[in-house]
Structure 1
């Protein structure tokens, strides 16, 4: 049975970094010492969205992520395909079935071979249920070196419900915490002006409320659009809200 103290540790995390540190330690205790979590709100039938907009968390070595993420191998990863088409947890034993039945494309085979060369051989993937057709989150749990998939499957039979529950809690908490997918955080002034725009205020209203000039408010909005890599202020408000950069309590 899952310990309440572990759930509370995840729920009480005050930052993305703190949450990820706690979660990776919990998963390592079960034997999963390398994790990679991804979330997008910009999913379409043909794209996962701009990689700069992904929320990506991992404790894999950079030598792995430079290729898997940096060179775009993730887009052809067979377990990513599975995650996009399903919800719940899946043993990587399905990869053996795919190979045996010729179910991997050449690109997927390349990803599989790369993963094997990096010691990413045994594990489980979890695809989180979403209520939006544009959003999807998933996490890949890689078992420590030396563990076979059969051993992982035995472990999952014994502890899978607890592991799944902790990952669901971590996922929901991740969605509630501020993050900057592009690496450029908004300044306090930029967050404030976008918040007022989200409340329906005009530029002149905001200037009066904040005691600024019209031109200064426009400048903050322009810099906020640049930081978020969007073209319009409406897009900036939406993206900043998605990233929990506005309408939040300062921690």
Structure 2
């Protein structure tokens, strides 16, 4: 679809599923048929945070995701390292040149070989601007199997600005939509008590407002902390808010 039509679609998307499905289709029109988007709000100088807290969206087959994500290859991926140090679009020619000159680390070489085995030979990575050192997001756009990096670079010369714009707008939209990490979803009650805590209410206040006992409120708070894998209620409120799980409308 045209850029204007795509931007209207993104602005109107009501869920991550709807947005991601449309974005995958749009990038496929440019010849990028395998995407993986990642975002963390828990980055430090030595870590990207708990992988279970990452926002991950992808249409890759399970074979690739199992190796790249679940077995931790992403930690040594050359283009991920590039994305952590840069913003904007990066051609995968970077990796090809490193491989040709023998400057890949042994760990990065393993990632390079893994990608080659699964026809991940040409593409671009877009690293998004971050307002905080704790935040980082990027998307990998893999070209269709059999397309050379030379052809991808030529395409990028012609359409790269539009592709970067579309991905940046999609990224900004993703940040506004509720995301539930696997095994870390909140029940309606847990979300409600956290919302009241966020409004500054005490346990006694919440018990009165929800017509429950203080002990029941404490139970919901404990289960919310366990669901979000945090130690304190303040952390639970923050994490739920960061993943847009607070004040959401039930559908």
Q: How high is the TM-score relative to the length of structure 1?
A: 0.97
In the alignment, the residues of structure 1 paired with residue 153 and residue 138 of structure 2 have an alpha-carbon distance, to the nearest angstrom, of 19
Task: Count residues in correspondence.
Answer: 251
Partner of residue 85, structure 1: 85
1:126 equivalenced with 2:90 (yes/no):
no
Q: Which runs of 5+ in 1 are unaligned?
A: none
Alpha-carbon distance, 1:212 to partner: 1.1
Q: Which runs of 5+ in 2 are unaligned?
A: none
- What is the RMSD computed on CA atoms of the aligned residues? 1.2
Alpha-carbon distance, 1:174 to partner: 0.6
Partner of residue 52, structure 1: 52
Residues 117-143 of structure 1, C-alpha deviations (whole Å, 9 max, x = no match):
000000000000001101100000000
Alpha-carbon distance, 1:248 to partner: 3.0
In the alignment, the residues of structure 1 paired with residue 40 and residue 2 of structure 2 have an alpha-carbon distance, to the nearest angstrom, of 28
Which has the larger displacement, 90-99 or 66-75?
A: 90-99
In the alignment, the residues of structure 1 paired with residue 59 and residue 150 of structure 2 have an alpha-carbon distance, to the nearest angstrom, of 24
Which has the larger displacement, 97-106 or 132-141?
A: 97-106
Q: Which runs of 4+ in 1 moved over 4 A?
A: none
In the alignment, the residues of structure 2 paired with residue 68 and residue 3 of structure 1 have an alpha-carbon distance, to the nearest angstrom, of 31
Partner of residue 73, structure 1: 73
Alpha-carbon distance, 1:12 to partner: 1.0
In the alignment, the residues of structure 2 paired with residue 64 and residue 100 of structure 1 have an alpha-carbon distance, to the nearest angstrom, of 24
Residues 86-133 of structure 1, C-alpha deviations (whole Å, 9 max, x = no match):
000011111122123332110000000100000000000000000110
Which has the larger displacement, 114-123 or 181-190?
A: 181-190
